[in-house]
Chains A and B, each alone.
Chain A
């Protein structure tokens, strides 16, 4: 593997507390050395990236993506989904198990993680917490862990039964990985296609209530506490895509109590509200749905005060014909890998004054920590050479036609973004490069 020098950039590595100009030498897939600017003068490498004026940060980590392979490769494949990830600055992604068939066995997991699938960034996976994600019988956590599982989830569906969720949390605690929960009490959301509220009422659509999310979060926190008290086990609950102020305050309180709860927020939930549904735009349909402005602001408050551990995209590609349906019939989900950084910098950094270092923390070291990716999410010497280089000041518009994903279902087509990825490097390999297309700075 060839060496890469990244010179003159602003290294932002929250894990080592660095936010300063540094030069970086990547060798054999690892970070070999970090020097003050000019420290590598005279060094010869095959490739040099001049990062003057650019941020050099750990490659982004997304703990929540849908890559649709096996079974639905007309929407996305592991190759195309990870190509989109690379274009968005991500070097590690965690694939959800709701493929066809559901990823619930070691054989299926190994097939998915096999190099033959053509992933161009680091691919990890959370297999199903229950067989077929039916919510009834937990899968073989030990065997799946040996095959590479970084957590367990029935994403897309919640684990509803108390007993099953408790069992899953206990089993996962035994091997030190999280149970990642899609918090939706589906007994309350039958026939619902957006957030409950005045917009849904006006549009004549049945709405998912705040309660439907909060009830599951509340129940899961109660289970955690009970497991800790009765079995002395420190189970790890990861709450996926938090979308309501209620759930956010429940998580804040649980963290204050010292429970092992982590959570993620998706860019669309801190950027848009249910008004974005407009005239039944199915590209504004996802689950959990876009919520009210108070909820959106609560997501930002949680991101600012540390309640939120990471930003995750819930990248959920769907084919055009599936989204070109009646709103209530169209599938949930939007793509997100190529717009996450641009939205985080626009809304959180520009809009709310979050430091770039904190944005990076939410998108690299902290998500890496949730799923225990050793040596990732940081650029300390010896860690993996997973790097994103981006221009933090470029303003641009996302063009869905240029996506690397197979699908274009995004409400952000034409939306303003801040910060453009110039290069993505995964274990020392350049997996994305964009210095041809340098838009004018504004």
Chain B
């Protein structure tokens, strides 16, 4: 549901399981969830998250079925509760939910009693994204012990999250997870996209509206991350932005990266709008970990599925 539900020990266990599953022979992996039934219930379009959850489930041998809001009875007005009950009646043992309304996974979990994996709910959270981002950082940053995940693992690391924070479930999940591992999270963006209320996300979260100043705080070699976010036009709800001004102030381009934080790890949860929040050169450049993020996403999601269904060393945990 939310990264807030996960203790640091649980985060460590998920990442350790990710490593284990990754190292397994594919035949062994395919036995983990052989014959188990997993439903993907997607009320919003998705490329990365949907495909990686689906591939993760298949790698573990599970049978998957995809239900999307288009071409299903959802179009006829069937409620989330009834859709969930229908999937359960058809044998689903776990539901992966992507939904435009914040909090929808709670409703589905309550209604069905099944483990529900939150694959992004409205502007609320995207917990698996924060976990894959964490794994990416552990793999790429200097001096972090990727095998010892605790309150100090990211001590001294500064993560600058820039852009449309208001509408971003990725920003929320990262801002609520990373400080608990010792990182400093700097949120950056204009007032319209980053209200002061964001400070309520917790300790270790700060606001720095000047992108250059924020980046400079992430300039230490191997200790800085620049995470860029897309402006979510579909959620702007009438809010008007001067995009030219936005690009001038917040775009991550080579010039700015070299001037402010030449060593920073560049991340983006996708989908990117090249030329808006990030230049193509930076997205494809040596600092970029964007494709690695996607690969880590697949790996982390295998562990999340194993955990949801209580296999692979996990004691039937309900999520």
Contacts and interface: CB of A to CB of B under 8 A. Distances in A.
B is a partner of A: yes
Interface of A: 190-191, 196-207, 279-280, 321, 324-329
Interface stretch (B121-129, B272-280, B297-305): B121-129
Given A191-B237, A328-B122, A200 B197 contact: yes
Nearest to B195: A201
Nearest to A200: B197
Given A203-B124, A280-B106, A327 B101 contact: yes
Q: Which 6 residue pairs across A and B have the least CB separation, nearest first?
A: A198-B200, A280-B103, A204-B124, A204-B123, A326-B101, A204-B102
22 contacts: A197-B197, A198-B197, A198-B199, A201-B195, A201-B197, A201-B200, A203-B103, A203-B124, A204-B121, A204-B122, A204-B123, A204-B169, A204-B172, A205-B103, A206-B123, A279-B103, A325-B79, A325-B80, A326-B80, A326-B101, A328-B102, A328-B122
Contacts of B121: 204
B107 interface: yes
Given A202-B172, A202-B200, A326-B101, A321 B79 contact: yes
Contact of B102 (A196, A205, A321, A324): A205
Given A201-B201, A204-B125, A205-B123, A190 B237 contact: yes
A198 B176 CA distance: 13
Given A204-B103, A325-B81, 6 more contacts: A204-B169, A324-B107, A325-B79, A325-B107, A326-B104, A326-B107
Contacts of B107: 280, 324-327
A324 B125 CA distance: 21
A263 B1 CA distance: 40
Contacts of A206: 123, 237
A199 B200 contact: yes
Contacts of A321: 79
A267 B101 CA distance: 29
B111 interface: yes
Interface in B137-187: 166, 169, 172, 176
A74 B1 CA distance: 33
B98 to A, nearest CB: 13
Contacts of A191: 237
Nearest to B5: A279
A329 B121 CA distance: 14
B3 to A, nearest CB: 12
Contacts of A204: 102-103, 121-125, 169, 172
B50 interface: no
